[in-house]
Chain A
Amino acid sequence: MTKIELPSYLEQTEDVKDRFQRLKARPVILEIDGLHKDFESRQGHVTALKNINFEVHRREFVCVIGPSGCGKSTLIRILAGLENKTSGKVLLDGKDVSEPGPDRGMVFQGYTLFPWLTVKRNVMFGLEARGQGKFSSEEEARQWIDLVGLSKFEDSYPHQLSGGMKQRVAIARALANQPRILLMDEPFGALDAQTRAKMQSYLMGIWQNIDITILFITHDLDEAIYLADRILVLKAHPGEVQEVIEVPVPQPRSPDQMLSPEFLATKKRLEDLIHPPEEEVSDDHMNLVRMVPVTDDVSSVF
């Protein structure tokens, strides 16, 4: 087998380099400065996040990736204001974030549509909660539902929708508030591969067409590379920033690029970061006791 020679993930074409220069010249919308998070529980003390420093620029698409338990959800929940930070600063447009607010939309991994409201009423929820009249809320909600292509289902209840449709409504519901930033915690994690791919293109489309900054958590490497301008790689115990990767794949993206050298190079790098090759924990192997005797008919799978 011949090994494919991949370029370095750090190599960027002129276009890509240019784009990152322009991106970094944009105003900073979210600033995370020396963020710490400790959990005190009966089992003891867990440092979930340690000294996180990061800036997100306007209309940037940032993915956060890292092994399970590294504190991705904790990070995004702090940004959303659903969790208190132990120390450090989180600034949105220069203002300190300490509680939930409609300036940060959130899409969760689980389905969190209100089951007692129709699709339309779900999307209207944020608008009405903020005191907007019913009539104009309804008008606006319709447009957002149209944006995610679910006009036919505006009077359906969530239980009548498929998983992908539910997450589209959840996105519309978050966007209807016109937040400054959209926080997404593994929103497509529960979807099958095909639906997931479709949802990714939907999201790309939305991101390109409206003024929104997106912070997106995933544990799927392809998803991260396909969607992100930059990828924030965390490591576990304690959750620290391991590297911030500028994705060298040119924008706008298409699924064809998933086999391009720069895509694969980035993927290789992420794999090395997240599953370091040497670190094979010894007590974590399968116990290959023969539970079922192998007959002589087919003695080997090779």
Chain B
Amino acid sequence: MSMAISQLFSVRRELKPKTRLLVMIFSFLLPLLVWSLVSYVPFIWHPKMEVTNPGSVEYFTKGMLVDRDVFESELQNTVKQGKPQPEGIRANPVYLPAPHQVAIAFYTAFTTEPKLRSEKWLHESLWDSIQVIFWGFLISSLVGVPLGILCGTYDFFSKLFEPFVEFFRYLPAPAFGALAVAILGIYSAPKIAIIFIGTFFQQVLIVSNTTRKLDPSLLEAALTLGAKRTTLLFRVVVPGIITNLYKDLRVLLGWAWTYLIVAELIGASSGITWFITQQARYKNFDNVYAAIMMIGILGLSIDIILAWLGRRLFPWEREMAKS
């Protein structure tokens, strides 16, 4: 027993493959378990009463959620007055739907028609969002990565660009929303611009930093082997940082998703986060959770795919990390 425990908690040692998988599955099961307990076991939380029979209380209606103490005092009143008593069951607030409700919503969110003709189906919203992220991140990377590498390689470019970039990154991207709409119109363009502004400036600084961390002795080795400037840049600097660069981009892509919510609120509202705002307004919280989870699942899947792709692309990296 103590053996097993010391194995589970040995400092900076990898777990055995089987244990590791179990623990990783548990990482999802644990929150689900907590959620289920809170949802299905009445005495843990359930601060409301769902009215099943209003009895003689005038303002109660069937299916209404009231605070427990309110229900209690109304009940006492009716008892005192000898009128028909209201009946109810303990319930959670509307903003905490149970797992099965969310699971159903996960399915129905795709199948229910939008309330208004101008609104989009969920899958259309999702696809809009993916496109906004994709283009924002792509454009940012196309400029930001080369610029970052240049800044990390040549002090000249570092001093030329980095002070301004450093300044600009403190300007909150959402603040540019109105401006972006004024300049770029109301459709996808200003949204892409927000993702761009949110990503680009961090990206330049992070990439230049990663570039600077390249072991200088590799550059010296290349120089003594007769490498000239361009060779140095393209055959040493770029491949030398590519694995870390790839990791940076994965992290940055995660950040890009957080700017999505701002991006989708400006101009013509659209996308998955708009869907969430809208559903929250209608108090369809099961749909809200379903959509939030969809973003989570999408983000995680993309990251897993990228990680897998990284192992394919950079075969020298895999064991290096281990050894």
Name the residue of chain B whose CB is nearest to the CB of A170. Answer: B221
| Total B residues in contact with A, Cβ cutoff 8 Å | 25
Proximity bits, A103-129, B CB within 8 Å = 1, else 0: 011101010101111000000011001
Asked whether any CB of chain A lies closer than 8 Å to the CB of B113, the reply is: no
B224 touches A104 (CB 8 A): yes
Contacts of B227 in A (CB 8 A): 125-126, 129
Q: Provided the pairs A108-B217, A159-B323 are in contact, do residues A116 and B224 lie with their beta carbons within 8 angstroms?
A: no
Task: Give every chain A residue within 8 A of B319 (Cβ-Cβ).
Answer: 157, 159-160
Tell me if B218 and A82 are in contact (CB < 8 A): no
In the complex, the answer to whether A125 meets B242 with C-beta atoms within 8 Å is no
Partner of A174, one of B218, B224, B231, B316: B224
Taking a contact as CB atoms under 8 Å apart, the answer to whether A112 and B221 are in contact is yes
Once A114-B236, A114-B240 are accepted as A-B contacts, the answer to whether A157 and B315 lie under 8 Å apart by CB is yes
For A105, what are the chain B residues with a Cβ–Cβ distance below 8 Å? 224-225
Interface residues of B in 216-269 (CB under 8 A from A): 217-218, 220-228, 231, 235-236, 239-240, 242-243
Main secondary structure of the interface of B (DSSP, over half): helix
Chain A contact-residue range equals: 20 to 34
Known: A108-B220, A159-B319, A159-B323. A116 touches B314 (CB 8 A): yes
Cβ-based interface call for A213 (8 A): no
Which partner residue on chain A sits nearest B241 by CB separation?
Answer: A116
A/B interface sample: 13 pairs, CB < 8 A: A100-B223, A100-B224, A104-B224, A106-B221, A108-B221, A112-B217, A114-B222, A125-B227, A125-B235, A130-B226, A159-B320, A173-B225, A177-B226
14 more contacts with CB within 8 A, not counting A102-B225, A125-B222, are A80-B220, A82-B220, A100-B226, A102-B226, A106-B221, A108-B220, A110-B217, A115-B240, A116-B316, A126-B227, A158-B316, A159-B323, A174-B225, A183-B224
Contact residues of A with B, CB < 8 Å? 80-82, 100-102, 104-106, 108, 110, 112, 114-117, 125-126, 129-130, 157-160, 173-174, 177, 183
